Protein backbone atom coordinates (compact mmCIF):
# COMPACT_ATOMS: atom_id res chain seq x y z
CA UNK A 1 0.00 0.00 0.00
CA UNK A 2 2.79 2.39 0.97
CA UNK A 3 4.68 1.65 -2.24
CA UNK A 4 1.54 2.42 -4.30
CA UNK A 5 1.14 5.76 -2.54
CA UNK A 6 4.83 6.48 -3.07
CA UNK A 7 4.53 5.69 -6.80
CA UNK A 8 1.45 7.93 -7.10
CA UNK A 9 3.28 10.74 -5.30
CA UNK A 10 6.32 10.37 -7.60
CA UNK A 11 4.16 10.34 -10.75
CA UNK A 12 2.39 13.50 -9.60
CA UNK A 13 5.76 15.19 -8.99
CA UNK A 14 6.96 14.08 -12.44
CA UNK A 15 3.85 15.50 -14.15
CA UNK A 16 4.40 18.80 -12.30
CA UNK A 17 8.02 18.90 -13.48
CA UNK A 18 7.01 18.11 -17.08
CA UNK A 19 4.55 21.01 -17.23
CA UNK A 20 6.45 23.80 -18.98
CA UNK A 21 5.34 27.32 -19.83
CA UNK A 22 6.73 30.08 -22.00
CA UNK A 23 7.89 32.35 -19.20
CA UNK A 24 9.64 34.73 -21.57
CA UNK A 25 9.83 34.88 -25.37
CA UNK A 26 13.14 33.76 -26.90
CA UNK A 27 13.12 34.32 -30.67
CA UNK A 28 10.77 37.17 -31.56
CA UNK A 29 9.56 39.11 -34.56
CA UNK A 30 8.71 42.81 -34.42
CA UNK A 31 5.90 44.90 -35.96
CA UNK A 32 3.27 43.86 -38.51
CA UNK A 33 1.23 46.59 -40.25
CA UNK A 34 -1.96 45.99 -42.26
CA UNK A 35 -4.53 48.14 -44.06
CA UNK A 36 -7.70 47.79 -46.07
CA UNK A 37 -7.44 49.08 -49.63
CA UNK A 38 -9.83 49.36 -52.54
CA UNK A 39 -9.73 45.67 -53.56
CA UNK A 40 -8.81 43.87 -50.34
CA UNK A 41 -6.19 43.79 -47.59
CA UNK A 42 -2.46 44.65 -47.64
CA UNK A 43 -0.08 43.47 -44.90
CA UNK A 44 3.62 44.14 -44.32
CA UNK A 45 6.28 42.80 -41.98
CA UNK A 46 10.04 42.48 -41.95
CA UNK A 47 11.81 39.11 -41.78
CA UNK A 48 13.94 39.52 -38.67
CA UNK A 49 13.96 37.06 -35.78
CA UNK A 50 15.64 38.49 -32.67
CA UNK A 51 17.26 36.27 -30.04
CA UNK A 52 16.96 38.71 -27.15
CA UNK A 53 18.45 41.88 -28.62
CA UNK A 54 20.56 39.97 -31.18
CA UNK A 55 19.19 39.94 -34.74
CA UNK A 56 19.83 36.22 -35.07
CA UNK A 57 17.63 35.23 -38.04
CA UNK A 58 17.13 37.23 -41.22
CA UNK A 59 14.63 35.16 -43.22
CA UNK A 60 11.67 34.50 -40.92
CA UNK A 61 8.34 34.62 -42.78
CA UNK A 62 5.73 36.07 -40.43
CA UNK A 63 2.86 36.42 -42.91
CA UNK A 64 0.99 33.24 -43.86
CA UNK A 65 -2.22 32.47 -45.80
CA UNK A 66 -4.95 30.67 -43.84
CA UNK A 67 -7.53 28.74 -45.84
CA UNK A 68 -9.03 30.37 -48.94
CA UNK A 69 -10.00 33.77 -47.59
CA UNK A 70 -7.56 34.84 -44.84
CA UNK A 71 -4.06 36.16 -44.22
CA UNK A 72 -2.30 35.99 -40.84
CA UNK A 73 0.60 38.12 -39.60
CA UNK A 74 2.32 37.72 -36.23
CA UNK A 75 4.63 39.58 -33.89
CA UNK A 76 6.26 37.95 -30.89
CA UNK A 77 7.58 34.48 -30.16
CA UNK A 78 8.22 32.57 -33.40
CA UNK A 79 7.73 29.08 -31.92
CA UNK A 80 4.32 30.10 -30.54
CA UNK A 81 3.41 31.42 -34.00
CA UNK A 82 4.33 28.00 -35.43
CA UNK A 83 2.05 26.39 -32.83
CA UNK A 84 -0.81 28.71 -33.85
CA UNK A 85 -0.25 27.75 -37.51
CA UNK A 86 -0.60 24.08 -36.49
CA UNK A 87 -3.90 24.86 -34.76
CA UNK A 88 -5.11 26.64 -37.89
CA UNK A 89 -4.04 23.77 -40.16
CA UNK A 90 -6.22 21.46 -38.06
CA UNK A 91 -9.11 23.92 -38.15
CA UNK A 92 -8.98 24.32 -41.95
CA UNK A 93 -8.61 20.56 -42.47
CA UNK A 94 -11.66 19.88 -40.26
CA UNK A 95 -13.61 22.56 -42.15
CA UNK A 96 -12.65 21.04 -45.53
CA UNK A 97 -13.71 17.56 -44.38
CA UNK A 98 -17.35 18.68 -44.31
CA UNK A 99 -17.14 19.26 -48.08
CA UNK A 100 -20.33 21.31 -47.95
CA UNK A 101 -19.33 24.03 -50.40
CA UNK A 102 -18.71 26.53 -47.57
CA UNK A 103 -15.39 27.58 -46.06
CA UNK A 104 -14.32 29.58 -43.01
CA UNK A 105 -14.02 33.31 -43.67
CA UNK A 106 -11.69 35.81 -41.98
CA UNK A 107 -14.30 36.80 -39.38
CA UNK A 108 -14.63 33.19 -38.20
CA UNK A 109 -10.85 32.61 -38.13
CA UNK A 110 -10.33 35.84 -36.18
CA UNK A 111 -13.02 34.82 -33.70
CA UNK A 112 -11.33 31.42 -33.28
CA UNK A 113 -7.95 33.08 -32.61
CA UNK A 114 -9.46 35.39 -29.96
CA UNK A 115 -10.79 32.31 -28.13
CA UNK A 116 -7.46 30.44 -28.39
CA UNK A 117 -5.43 33.41 -27.08
CA UNK A 118 -7.85 34.14 -24.22
CA UNK A 119 -8.06 30.46 -23.28
CA UNK A 120 -4.27 30.13 -23.06
CA UNK A 121 -4.05 33.36 -21.07
CA UNK A 122 -6.54 31.95 -18.55
CA UNK A 123 -4.30 28.90 -18.12
CA UNK A 124 -1.39 31.25 -17.30
CA UNK A 125 0.37 29.78 -20.32
CA UNK A 126 -0.12 32.40 -23.03
CA UNK A 127 0.92 32.18 -26.64
CA UNK A 128 3.36 35.09 -26.72
CA UNK A 129 2.11 36.76 -29.90
CA UNK A 130 0.14 39.69 -31.24
CA UNK A 131 -1.75 38.59 -34.34
CA UNK A 132 -3.30 40.40 -37.31
CA UNK A 133 -5.95 38.56 -39.33
CA UNK A 134 -7.22 40.04 -42.58
CA UNK A 135 -9.19 38.69 -45.48
CA UNK A 136 -11.93 39.03 -48.08
CA UNK A 137 -15.02 36.85 -48.48
CA UNK A 138 -18.12 37.52 -50.60
CA UNK A 139 -16.89 41.05 -51.32
CA UNK A 140 -16.59 41.91 -47.62
CA UNK A 141 -13.16 43.07 -46.38
CA UNK A 142 -12.25 42.17 -42.81
CA UNK A 143 -9.27 43.26 -40.71
CA UNK A 144 -8.74 42.59 -37.01
CA UNK A 145 -6.06 41.97 -34.41
CA UNK A 146 -5.75 40.00 -31.18
CA UNK A 147 -3.17 40.39 -28.41
CA UNK A 148 -1.49 37.69 -26.33
CA UNK A 149 -4.17 38.03 -23.61
CA UNK A 150 -7.12 37.96 -25.99
CA UNK A 151 -7.79 41.70 -26.38
CA UNK A 152 -9.19 42.10 -29.90
CA UNK A 153 -10.78 44.61 -32.26
CA UNK A 154 -11.48 45.33 -35.92
CA UNK A 155 -10.38 48.46 -37.79
CA UNK A 156 -9.52 49.84 -41.23
CA UNK A 157 -5.82 49.71 -40.35
CA UNK A 158 -4.04 47.83 -37.56
CA UNK A 159 -0.49 47.32 -36.34
CA UNK A 160 1.34 45.33 -33.69
CA UNK A 161 4.37 46.09 -31.53
CA UNK A 162 6.19 49.36 -32.21
CA UNK A 163 3.92 49.82 -35.22
CA UNK A 164 1.06 50.62 -32.85
CA UNK A 165 2.98 53.69 -31.68
CA UNK A 166 4.89 54.77 -34.80
CA UNK A 167 2.90 53.54 -37.82
CA UNK A 168 -0.72 54.09 -36.81
CA UNK A 169 -0.39 57.90 -36.49
CA UNK A 170 0.78 57.92 -40.13
CA UNK A 171 -2.12 55.67 -41.12
CA UNK A 172 -4.64 57.88 -39.32
CA UNK A 173 -3.38 60.86 -41.33
CA UNK A 174 -3.01 59.29 -44.76
CA UNK A 175 -5.27 56.23 -45.05
CA UNK A 176 -8.56 56.40 -46.97
CA UNK A 177 -10.88 53.63 -48.13
CA UNK A 178 -10.33 54.16 -51.87
CA UNK A 179 -6.57 53.54 -51.78
CA UNK A 180 -5.27 51.88 -54.94
CA UNK A 181 -2.88 48.93 -54.65
CA UNK A 182 0.11 51.12 -55.59
CA UNK A 183 -0.78 53.85 -53.07
CA UNK A 184 -1.41 51.24 -50.37
CA UNK A 185 2.03 49.70 -50.92
CA UNK A 186 3.64 53.18 -50.77
CA UNK A 187 1.85 53.90 -47.49
CA UNK A 188 2.97 50.60 -45.96
CA UNK A 189 6.54 51.20 -47.16
CA UNK A 190 6.49 54.62 -45.51
CA UNK A 191 5.42 53.00 -42.23
CA UNK A 192 8.06 50.27 -42.51
CA UNK A 193 10.77 52.86 -43.24
CA UNK A 194 9.86 54.82 -40.08
CA UNK A 195 9.94 51.56 -38.10
CA UNK A 196 13.32 50.66 -39.61
CA UNK A 197 14.75 54.01 -38.47
CA UNK A 198 13.29 53.85 -34.96
CA UNK A 199 12.91 50.19 -33.94
CA UNK A 200 16.18 48.47 -33.06
CA UNK A 201 14.66 45.03 -33.82
CA UNK A 202 13.59 45.91 -37.38
CA UNK A 203 15.67 44.87 -40.40
CA UNK A 204 15.69 46.14 -43.97
CA UNK A 205 14.24 43.01 -45.53
CA UNK A 206 10.48 42.92 -45.76
CA UNK A 207 7.52 41.23 -47.41
CA UNK A 208 4.21 42.74 -48.43
CA UNK A 209 1.20 40.46 -48.93
CA UNK A 210 -2.18 41.17 -50.46
CA UNK A 211 -5.42 39.24 -50.33
CA UNK A 212 -8.39 39.86 -52.62
CA UNK A 213 -11.33 37.79 -53.88
CA UNK A 214 -8.86 36.23 -56.35
CA UNK A 215 -6.57 34.90 -53.60
CA UNK A 216 -3.32 35.60 -51.73
CA UNK A 217 -0.06 36.98 -53.10
CA UNK A 218 3.03 37.31 -50.87
CA UNK A 219 5.89 39.32 -52.37
CA UNK A 220 9.47 38.16 -52.56
CA UNK A 221 11.64 39.74 -49.83
CA UNK A 222 13.06 43.14 -50.74
CA UNK A 223 14.76 46.16 -49.15
CA UNK A 224 13.75 49.81 -48.89
CA UNK A 225 15.88 52.78 -49.89
CA UNK A 226 17.02 54.57 -46.76
CA UNK A 227 18.86 57.79 -45.91
CA UNK A 228 20.95 58.00 -42.76
CA UNK A 229 22.53 61.41 -43.37
CA UNK A 230 20.15 63.42 -41.14
CA UNK A 231 22.05 65.56 -38.65
CA UNK A 232 19.95 64.12 -35.80
CA UNK A 233 21.23 60.65 -36.74
CA UNK A 234 24.87 61.79 -37.02
CA UNK A 235 25.02 63.38 -33.57
CA UNK A 236 21.90 62.34 -31.67
CA UNK A 237 22.97 63.74 -28.27
CA UNK A 238 23.49 67.36 -29.34
CA UNK A 239 21.41 69.52 -27.04
CA UNK A 240 20.67 66.61 -24.69
CA UNK A 241 22.25 67.90 -21.54
CA UNK A 242 23.75 65.27 -19.26
CA UNK A 243 23.55 62.45 -21.81
CA UNK A 244 26.42 60.26 -22.92
Distance in angstroms (rounded) separating the CA atoms of residues 50 and 75: 11
Which residue from 225, 182, 187 is spatially nearest to 204, judged by alpha carbons?
A: 225
The angle, 0 to 180 degrees and rounded to 10, between the axes of the packed helices 78-98 and 106-122 is 130
Across-strand partners of 132? 73, 145
Task: Report yes or no: 56 and 49 within 8 Å, Cβ to Cβ.
Answer: yes
Distance CA 42, CA 39 (A): 9
226 is catalytic: no
For residue 68, give the nearest of 218, 219, 214 by alpha carbon.
Answer: 214
- Contact indicator for 148, 83 with CB cutoff of 8 Å: no
Tell me which of 22, 28, 160, 237 is the catalytic residue. 22
Catalytic residues: 22
Amino acid sequence: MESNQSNLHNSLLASEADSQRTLYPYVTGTSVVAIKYKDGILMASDMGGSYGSTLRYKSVERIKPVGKHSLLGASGEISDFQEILRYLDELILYDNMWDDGNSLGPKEVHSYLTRVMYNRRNKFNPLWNSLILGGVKNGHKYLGMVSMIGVNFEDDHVATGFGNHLARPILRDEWHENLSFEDGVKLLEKCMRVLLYRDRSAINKLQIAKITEEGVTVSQPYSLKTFWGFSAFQNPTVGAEGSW
